[in-house]
Amino acid sequence: MTKRGQITQKQIALETGVTQGIVSAVLRNSPACDRVRDETRRRILETARKYHYPISHTFRDGKRLKNNIIGIIIKTERSQFYQDLIFLLNEELEKINYRTIISRVDLEAQDPELGSFIDRILDYNYAGVISIGHFSPRYPDLLPKKLEFYHNAVFLNTPRGIGDAPCVRIDYGAGVREAVDYLVKKGRKRIALCINDISCDATKGRFAGYCAGLAGNGLPVLPELCWSAEDYGMRAWEGEVLDRILPQAAHVLIREQKVDAIIAGNDLWGVGLIHQLHRMRVKVPQDVSVVGYGDFEYCCWSSTPQLASINHGNRQIAAELIRMIDDLIRGVRTREEIAAAPVDVKSYFLPRASA
């Protein structure tokens, strides 16, 4: 395969059937490329990406921009966190005169046309793109590689498969550490973690925070107290088949392991576990404390007792992503400058009656 530096704009022009001037305009994102047909632009950008030819991130001032629209790309899933973050981003971007187009990409489906579908999304001349969901076990780096040389793109969490990129990273473990500290102070000694799997960054972060919290309080990390649906042959993302998962989790953790606190993988699980404990005549929080994850208002405040939870740091996440994309668009900072200083946002614990 041709390596970076071994292809020229002239060769790209020959391969795509256009003049070198057109190639230069598109790759520099100059105002002249607005007159180039979308299909031609797509062909040139695809060829440049294929050979890893750098595509300019040069700012084009507001008078020359075709629009003030920011694309938000999210993978298709049921996570309430992503839905809340999209709403927050849209609301805050409108305050500074941007508009948004939201595109959902199914990164779990076996779709041979998925790459072309993403290219069609990126054909639109956005002012910039925010990618807030770009990983799946099936396609861990497909979307990041499509955005690697896009003129203005920022990511939520570190993208796989590419070099340094502008990103806001979530410290998923910080809130879990705070929750463990709080529960230990309340006299809890057998604290369980109840999650879907330990294969993605979010659940790995939760597990790391759980282990750090226990170790910091002089408690051992007992594998039997870390319950994972995947270990039981079940993979249930938020809202799916909870009637199978939660009874199993409650039985193992309460009846067999005799835990006195559970930190759930998300708020839906937390509320569901409280319901299961009520059915088992286990009092919350007198017998067992329950903590959710996500701080989703409709879950936490409708639960009896009200669900303690861990907030991702949603408002700070949105603010930092917007600051990055706005700086790129206005030319305040370059992609390289932002990529060299990624922002870490800590999740945090919110105690309520269930704990």
The pair of three-digit structure tokens given for residue 300, joined into one six-digit string:
């936490």
Q: Could you tell me which of 194, 212, 198 has the C-alpha nearest to residue 257?
A: 194
Fold of 69-170+315-347: Rossmann fold (3.40.50)
Answer whether 69-170+315-347 and 172-311 agree in fold: yes
Q: In the 8-state DSSP scheme, what is residue 308?
A: B
* CATH placement of domain 172-311: 3.40.50.2300
pLDDT by residue for the chain (355 residues), tens digit each?
Answer: 444 456 888 899 999 999 888 888 888 777 667 678 878 887 888 888 788 787 765 444 444 445 789 999 998 877 889 999 999 999 999 999 999 999 999 988 888 889 889 988 988 889 999 999 888 878 889 999 888 878 799 999 999 988 889 999 999 999 999 999 999 999 999 999 999 888 788 899 999 999 999 999 999 999 999 999 888 877 655 445 788 889 999 999 999 999 999 999 999 999 999 999 999 999 999 999 999 999 999 899 999 999 999 999 999 999 999 999 999 988 888 888 999 999 999 999 999 999 9
**Where are the domains positioned within the chain?**
9-50, 69-170+315-347, 172-311
- The per-residue pLDDT for 235 is 66
Q: Could you tell me which of 330, 66, 289, 98 has the C-alpha nearest to residue 188?
A: 289
Angle, CA 311 vertex, CA 174 and CA 160 arms, to 5°: 65
Using CA of residue 323, residue 325, residue 328, residue 329, what is the dihedral sign? negative
Q: What CA–CA distances, in Å, run from 266 to 37, 259, 272, 289?
A: 46, 18, 10, 15
